[in-house]
Amino acid sequence: MEKRKLGNSGLVVSALGMGVMNLSFGTGPAKEKKDSIDVIRHAFEQGINFFDTAEAYGPYVNEELLGEAIAPFRKDVIIASKFGFKLENGAITGVDSRPENIRAVVEASLKRLKTDYIDLFYQHRVDPAIPIEEVAGTLKELIEEGKIRHYGLSEAGANTIRKAHTIHPVTAVQNQYSIWAREPEQFVLPVCEELGIGFVPWAPLGTGFLTGKITADTVFDESSDLRASFPRFTPEAIKANKPLLELMIDFAKQKDTTPVQIALAWLLAQKPFIVPIPGMDKIEFIDDNIKSLKVELTHADLEKIDQGLSQITIQGARLNEGLLMLSES
């Protein structure tokens, strides 16, 4: 599989990574463990070597799953995990990036992942109570100690990225970015390009919307699916955003491909340091998504897509109010 460098860090990963979260948490009930391990190992067999998890996914069980799945080939893969949420009784109750908590999380994550180092360790959300310079300083120490090899920031704004980068180079920023969530283009992507930082879009398929399988009649289980609380996934918003999906479907037909492959190819075409991590919880999804690497979008194609997008206003906030408050624009 094609490889990409995450900025100037020297970290080389498969051009398409795998978000592991959906196997355990977030978009419905957890999948069977054996099936989940099979999915992860199939992704590796197809050339994907970049796997993304977090202590908050489950919580905890997603890291355990990934650790077991990749144990036979640990040295051949890049593991990304995250710290920074405050977890109480299995629920997220806030953020916590105190140095002592970062250290406690990394030790626990290493055990769950069955490894002695984490390749890329993200701050999951910015903690307004802890200066980012202090957070970056703690992560620098963990790099020097060999506990982690690189660090990144998730849902961070340009100013935070700059401040952290002065303490120790940031390897990657993981913010939501897709053809229907383009906020990073204004400030974050330019600062990543300027400073030589990789960019890892989460939800590159619009948290499932760009697959075309979600309709206004889709019911999201409030107990297991985060989208039940996202304004962009109300029946009204889904109906209002249908023109975007129609644009994708029409363009995919012209290229003899699928909307999913167009959405991923579009991201890959934006910058050479972008590595999407779609959540793939079925083998057929992996095989389908990988085909996006063969889709060539010309400059004229990208202009045509942008022209179509300029006529569409996306309705509904991308996250619920609580999670938006934990993100930096």
CA-to-CA dists, residue 296 to 31, 270, 299, angstroms: 33, 12, 10
Closest CA to 64 of 20, 96, 103, 26: 20
Residues 183-239 have pLDDT tens digits of 999 999 999 999 999 999 999 999 999 999 999 999 999 999 999 999 999 999 999
Task: Give phi and psi for 295, each to the nearest 5.
Answer: -85, 120
**Is the pLDDT at 329 greater than 70, yes or no?**
no
9-57, pLDDT tens digit by residue?
Answer: 999 999 999 999 999 999 999 999 999 999 999 999 999 999 999 999 9
pLDDT of 223-279, one tens digit each?
999 999 999 999 999 999 999 999 999 999 999 999 999 999 999 999 999 999 999
The answer, yes or no, to whether residue 77 has pLDDT greater than 60, is: yes
Share above pLDDT 90 across residues of the chain, in percent, rounded to a whole number: 97
The angle formed by the CA atoms of residues 45, 49 and 50, to the nearest 5 degrees, is: 140
Residue that has been written with the tokens 């989208």 in this structure? 227
Parallel/antiparallel/unpaired status of strands 85-88 and 12-14: unpaired
First to last CA, the chain: 33
Q: How many CB atoms lie within 10 A of CB 22?
A: 24
Give the burial class of 291: count Cβ atoms within 10 A of its Cβ; 0-12 exposed, 13-18 middle, 19 or more buried: middle
Q: Please, are residues 173 and 192 in contact by the beta-carbon 8 Å criterion?
A: yes
Q: What is the pLDDT of residue 327?
A: 84
Q: Residue 234 and residue 219: Cα distance in Å, rounded?
A: 9
pLDDT of residue 322: 78
Q: For residue 6, give the amino acid letter.
A: L
Would the pTM count as exceeding 0.85?
yes
Q: What is the pLDDT of residue 107?
A: 98
Q: Binning pLDDT at 50, 70 and 90, where does residue 328 land?
A: confident
Query: What is the mean predicted confidence (pLDDT) over 159-182?
Result: 98
Q: Which token pair is 167?
A: 């303490």
> Catalytic annotation on 177?
no
Inter-residue contact 164 to 132 (CB < 8 Å):
yes
Q: What is the mean predicted confidence (pLDDT) over 104-132?
A: 98
Backbone angles phi, psi at 7, to 5 degrees: 65, -140
**Active-site hit among 57, 122, 151, 177:** 57
Length, in residues, of the chain: 329
Q: Binning pLDDT at 50, 70 and 90, where does residue 8 land?
A: very high
Other Cβ atoms within 10 Å of 39 Cβ, number: 22
| CATH class for the domain made up of 3-207+261-294 | alpha beta
Take residue 134 and report the two structure tokens written for it.
Answer: 């202090």
- Answer for the pair 14, 77: CB distance below 8 angstroms, yes or no: no
- Least reliable range by pLDDT among 77-81, 181-185, 211-215, 325-329: 325-329
CA neighbours within 13 Å on the CB side: how many for 288? 17
Residue closest to 280 by CA, chosen among 1, 21, 47, 41: 21
> Rounded CA gap, 271 and 273, in Å?
5
* Average pLDDT of the segment spanning 62-71: 98
Of 26, 8, 10, 111, the closest CA to residue 281 belongs to 26
Per-residue pLDDT at 33: 98
Q: Do the beta carbons of residue 123 and residue 84 sit within 8 Å? A: yes
Both tokens assigned to 155: 């849902």
Sequence-ordered strand ranges (E) for 1-117: 3-5, 12-14, 18-19, 50-52, 78-83, 85-88, 91-95
User: Average pLDDT over the chain, rounded to whole?
Assistant: 97
